[in-house]
A and B are shown apart, each in its own frame.
Chain A
């Protein structure tokens, strides 16, 4: 039994409507941050989780095609459902934060050579 109401899939008629829906999805995520943190026992500061959500939305900030936005919204909604309903497991959620811990890859040829990456 899902904990959130299913949403009828629909397409945005204009960019303004798509933007509005994006804001709704963003608010849905942010509002549920405390609950998600409890459900998954996340030992991270709340601000880190919130900024990670922000980061994922920022990634698509400059998408301007309403149909593309619709797809992104749809996927974001799925992602939210899976997270909120605890269909994910601890490791799946932590995977969002992998990139925070990655060390920078060497960019210079010599460093890559010494690392054995060229």
Chain B
């Protein structure tokens, strides 16, 4: 914490940290200074000159974004001289900016448009030809109209600093400056969509959303994203019954103001492949049915099945309400075989469910910035949680953290030491035989990120026992102020499922005769006996629905107000933006109706009664937006439990490999698999990877020729 100093903005005293820019002091004093290039989360460029202010006793005007504050400084932000200067800047910008607002997608939310209302002239004095710039093809997500670019370089700074892929840059100087990828190449960053929000003009706009709506036609609904486990805060913009776009909402504790491309662009998947009416399998075809018939059929089969031969699988996008209701229903029916939709889910996941610290991201998402040594085990945060990966870059850029990886090597956008490919490397760290162990042990704030998929390995108990031994050998890892052992789940519904205890109470080995898939699309068909009666409840006709005998259409995350717990253990609510299509219903209501049809009526009729039940099951489920940490003593008990559930060191070799939780970043769930945009992005990413390999061969050939 740096020293606070006092200065005066328009005569108003304001206290601010030493080294801040004048624009920040003005913000604090409640004065908004117009700006194009300055962005509080990016480095300072100081090239638009729109934020000029007068500083008393200074002959020249200062760019307030780049000028540091000084004690007793007197800043004026609203003088005729400043207005004239800004009008001059605006006139130069507009000299080359096309007057195509009526056909520009940024219209209505354009900084240039807004500020020209105040600082623009009503006529131009520029009679020469306007500058024209060729449009760039930077992939299927971002549309470019480079003639509109005002060279603020926000996109360049974002891609280089935050996203860390160094793909955008500037070439040329002055009037001839151009922004692009040098050679025609798509952006490969998973955060590339954020440059659309950052662009103050219409140079970078959303390609899938192009020309489809105007901001003033849209209804804004504040919700959260469920396509990864971070629970990024988003705003869903809808028109009528259609989700038009998803854009980020600021939450410094979760996603700052970024969201991943999947969160932003997968929303067109909500319109395709939807289940809109109950379906019953007749022969090899699905026939539409009424809710009454479908529920009666499912209830009959549920009653007829032996309780120990009933299985429920909760999918990656299942919300807490539906899971609590389904668990209550099936427990009432005497069934204990509840699973999450993961590999090796016939037993409790390796993390266990008794201690929350064992399966939550304890360091918290914002906390990763404080880490000084980071060890990643069996995870690729760039694909499992791109926004978290951008946060991990912060201590990397500041030079305050060292990184190491156990698992498959990948481009994570920061340098790391690759300790080993297989789980055996964990033992080397735990026993101290690898030199990185010393770095980890001497760290003040060590952070060990364990991938959610590690808990699903065949030998997860042994692997996690090794992780626990490693954790116990690092003194600063678990203390009262800091718990650095963090599990990065990859599915939005997973933490809630473990909170609720949606796991088999005993390792079940009986083949089921009744299977209830709650949005479970990753189940292997081989795990379901051919004669089993399968019910699929979900919103997309994806893999799970194809296995079903009865399909019950549910609501997607934009169509229900439901609780999701992110990987930190923070419960957040999605909010309903549009109605569910056709006869689809909210998921917990389907389960509640089924319970009545089966004669096992659940004791809640409305969502508040259900939330009261959720509070009984797990109080944190209803503490919306709050993060509750586990005490160090309990976390250590959890570690001991994790250590004891697997074999001791050296008893069994840690063979096998880590699995990739996210194979294709753009296609991970029913929504993104149904999305055209995601299909294009996936193809483009595959092509870019292939081309970069082949282009190096080509250049090698050219060099020899």
Contact = CB atoms under 8 A, between A and B. Distances in A.
Contacts of A114: 290-292, 295, 593
A113 B290 CA distance: 12
Interface in A18-38: none
Contacts of B592: 109, 113
Interface string A68-110: 0000000000000000000000000000000000000000111
A109 B605 CA distance: 7
B143 interface: no
Contacts of A113: 291, 585, 589-590, 592-593
B554 to A, nearest CB: 13
B597 interface: yes
Contact of A110 (B290, B295, B583): B295
Contacts of B292: 114
A36 to B, nearest CB: 43
* Chain A interface extent, by class: under 10
Contacts of B590: 113
A84 B46 CA distance: 81
A58 to B, nearest CB: 31
Nearest to B594: A110
A16 interface: no
Contacts of B111: none
A118 B589 contact: yes
A115 to B, nearest CB: 9
A108 B291 contact: no
A118 B589 CA distance: 8
A100 B583 CA distance: 31
Contacts of A108: 596
Residue picked from A113, A114, A118, most chain B C-beta under 10 Å: A113
A116 B601 CA distance: 18
A113 B589 CA distance: 8
Interface string B526-567: 000000000000000000000000000000000000000000
B322 to A, nearest CB: 14
| Chain B contact residues: helix, strand, loop or mixed | helix
Contacts of A109: 592-593, 596, 601, 605
| Chain A contact residues: helix, strand, loop or mixed | helix
Contacts of A116: 583
Nearest to A110: B596
Contacts of B585: 113
A110 B589 contact: no
A114 B292 CA distance: 6
A30 to B, nearest CB: 43
Contacts of A118: 589, 605
A77 to B, nearest CB: 41
Contacts of B596: 108-110
A116 to B, nearest CB: 8
Interface in B558-616: 583, 585, 589-590, 592-593, 596-597, 601, 605
A87 B292 CA distance: 48
B609 to A, nearest CB: 11
Contacts of A110: 295, 593, 596-597
B82 to A, nearest CB: 59
B592 to A, nearest CB: 6
Nearest to B597: A110
A52 B295 CA distance: 41
A113 B585 CA distance: 9
B644 to A, nearest CB: 45
A109 B292 CA distance: 12
A109 B290 CA distance: 16
A26 B613 CA distance: 51
A114 B293 CA distance: 10
A113 B292 CA distance: 9
A108 B601 CA distance: 10
A118 B596 CA distance: 14
A59 B569 CA distance: 53
A110 B596 CA distance: 6
A113 B295 CA distance: 11
A116 B295 CA distance: 14
Interface string A50-68: 0000000000000000000
A53 to B, nearest CB: 37
A32 B649 CA distance: 99
A11 to B, nearest CB: 44
B537 to A, nearest CB: 14
A113 B594 CA distance: 10
B288 to A, nearest CB: 15
Residue picked from A108, A114, A116, most chain B C-beta under 10 Å: A114
A109 B597 CA distance: 10
A93 B596 CA distance: 41
A108 B295 CA distance: 15
A108 B292 CA distance: 13
A110 B290 CA distance: 13
A118 to B, nearest CB: 6
A113 B601 CA distance: 13
Interface in B262-307: 290-292, 295
A65 B73 CA distance: 71
A118 B591 CA distance: 13
B241 to A, nearest CB: 16
Nearest to B586: A118
A108 to B, nearest CB: 7
A113 B552 CA distance: 13
A44 to B, nearest CB: 36
A118 B592 CA distance: 11
A108 B605 CA distance: 9
A118 B597 CA distance: 16
B506 to A, nearest CB: 32
Interface string B486-505: 00000000000000000000
A92 to B, nearest CB: 35
Nearest to B605: A109
Nearest to A113: B593
A113 to B, nearest CB: 4
B14 to A, nearest CB: 53
Nearest to B292: A114
A105 to B, nearest CB: 14
Contacts of B589: 113, 118
B505 to A, nearest CB: 28
A108 B597 CA distance: 11
Contacts of B601: 109
Closest 4 A/B residue pairs (Cβ) = A110-B596, A113-B593, A114-B292, A110-B593
5 contacts: A108-B596, A110-B593, A113-B592, A114-B291, A114-B295
Given A109-B605, A114-B292, A114-B593, 11 more contacts: A109-B592, A109-B593, A109-B601, A110-B593, A113-B589, A113-B590, A113-B593, A114-B290, A114-B291, A118-B589, A118-B605
